[in-house]
Chains A and B, each alone.
Chain A
Amino acid sequence: MTEAQTPQPVIEVNNLVTHYGDRQILKDVSLTIQQGEIMVIMGGSGSGKSTLLRHLMALENATSGSIKLLGHELSELSQMDLYTLCRKIGVSFQSGALFSSMTVGENIILPLREHTNLDRTTMNIMARLKLEVVDLAGFENLMPSELSGGMVKRAALARAIIMDPALLFCDEPSAGLDPVVSSALDELILRLRSAMRMTIVVVTHELDSAFKIADRITVLDGGEILTIGTVDEVRNSSNERIQNLLNRRFEAEEVDPDEYLARLMGQT
């Protein structure tokens, strides 16, 4: 394979360790995500997947380790360089994080208003275009409070892609949605990748969604990576913890009744 054909890593995480107080959240996490890839980060509650995503978005500082985003080492960037880098990144938050005081249209054009000198008409046209991409045409004058949960997530996606980013982060895109809306959002993510050729990182605990959209899956458990592989590799993994996670099984815990009672009474 020639160098030109080799996919370029968009994200490189090396030996990332992070703590909240005394508690270690991420334990020596390393992964590489290639250009144009959809990487799904999967794991149960408290596995560290959202923390990893916050580090990738430069919202947290790591205890040790490094993160390279689009060729830039995050810890070496000045605040202004970080803001410049952020223009190439789109983020769709779990809650949508739309500004409640602005209409959907104003939310979507906010990055354009802040980072470009485009006139209002052009910005409005671009907002309508992106709303059409996410099947929300005609909703630009509504307030976020007037939208359903699925619509909020789609509007957040429209805002995330307004600057045509090279990299898109989606935090739990289908959480709290019914299967039909959730499936439509998965289709939308796949469409975005093929239409805009962006690299997409999705954090989810929804197995169906993960298997549908992922090129590769990173499975996290207890702050460490259990495996990184294709959908089939993860499905067929012989690792018991991965199978437990996929089959929603929990490790049985031997309980000593006396110790349990003492714990409830606050004596241990």
Chain B
Amino acid sequence: MAAPDKRGSPVHVLESMGRGAFRFVDAFGFGAHLFFESLYWLIRGRRMGQRVRAEPVFAQMMVIGVNAIPIVSMLSVAIGITLSMQGIDSLEQFGAQHQVMFMVALSVTREFGPLITGILVAGRSGSALAARISTMVISQEIDALKVMGVNPVRYIVAPSLLGMMIVLPSLTLWSIGISLIGSALYVAPQVGTTVSALFTEVNASIGTDDLAHGLTKSLIFAVLITIVSVVDGISVEGGAEGVGRVTTSAVVHGITAIVLTDMIFVFATTT
């Protein structure tokens, strides 16, 4: 006799939640293992005869960083100008529109720069990494590495992680700079001052702790994007359809991880 359909019942909902929680803990543990194993190979690989090569690290930096400069720049200018327009409109009510650059600089440095760059890189490079790894799993390239005596974490994950950890903070710094330039170019004629005067104001109001706050977050985002993409990529099942599925989930999981971590980081550092 066919089993009764339990879908929608409270037991089924609880079962699904339990399975989901188990999968999350499993993926989290695997991700932590990948992160520490990558660090291990980066630090001790040369001594163990399994060094992480500079060539794939530079290749990753090129793909993640240099090729992303145009789109990061365009978005950063747009964010800077948008924040300025909103800021002037809001601050005018209190006659404080001259303070808009201070507000924009603080928002961009601590929040928007790292967040927007992280989301952009998760969508652009995280998905590419997940697609690459899942394709390698399906075509037995990962197995081929293992039987060649090459550790796949050392060969694939460690260079991607290092490349991402160098490039994402650099891109974030670039994004902050471009946003501020865009903002200053818009604000200067609006409030009747010069761009250089606005930057003097920014210099005086933004401290190294604000910059450190933003860059530390981008470093954490770099780790999250890489590890989430690798965990999703390795979990591929099926053929081309499976690759599409893990690529999409890598973007969704990556962005979710970034936004939630951002909230926790801000909570931990401001309260």
Contacts and interface: CB of A to CB of B under 8 A. Distances in A.
Nearest to B59: A101
A111 B1 CA distance: 56
Contact of B147 (A59, A94, A99, A266): A59
A10 to B, nearest CB: 16
Nearest to B51: A114
Nearest to A93: B140
B141 A59 contact: no
B143 A83 contact: no
B148 A59 contact: no
Contacts of B48: 80
Interface in A47-99: 57-59, 79-80, 82-87, 89, 91, 93-95, 97-99
Contact of B148 (A94, A95, A110, A169): A110
A94 B48 CA distance: 31
Contacts of A83: 50, 149-151
A86 B141 contact: no
Contact of A91 (B1, B2, B144): B144
Contacts of B144: 91, 93, 97, 99
B146 interface: yes
Interface string B135-160: 11001110110111111000100000
Contact of B2 (A79, A110, A267): A267
Interface in B94-132: none
Query: Which residue of A83, A85, A91, A98 has the most chain B CB atoms within 10 A of its CB atom?
Result: A83
B147 A87 contact: no
A86 B135 contact: no
Contacts of A89: 147
Nearest to B135: A100
**For chain A, which range describes its interface: under 10, 10 to 19, 20 to 34, or 35 or more residues?**
20 to 34
A235 interface: no
A44 B12 CA distance: 39
A212 interface: no
Contacts of B1: 267-268
Interface in A158-188: 169
A93 B143 contact: yes
Nearest to A266: B2
Nearest to A91: B147
A115 interface: yes
Contact of B139 (A57, A95, A267): A95
A86 B2 contact: no
Contacts of B135: 100
Contacts of A87: 149
A138 B1 CA distance: 64
23 contacts: A57-B146, A57-B147, A59-B146, A59-B147, A82-B149, A83-B149, A83-B150, A86-B146, A86-B147, A89-B147, A91-B147, A91-B148, A93-B144, A95-B139, A97-B139, A97-B141, A99-B136, A100-B139, A114-B50, A114-B148, A114-B150, A114-B155, A169-B147
Given A80-B49, A111-B150, 4 more contacts: A83-B149, A87-B149, A100-B135, A169-B147
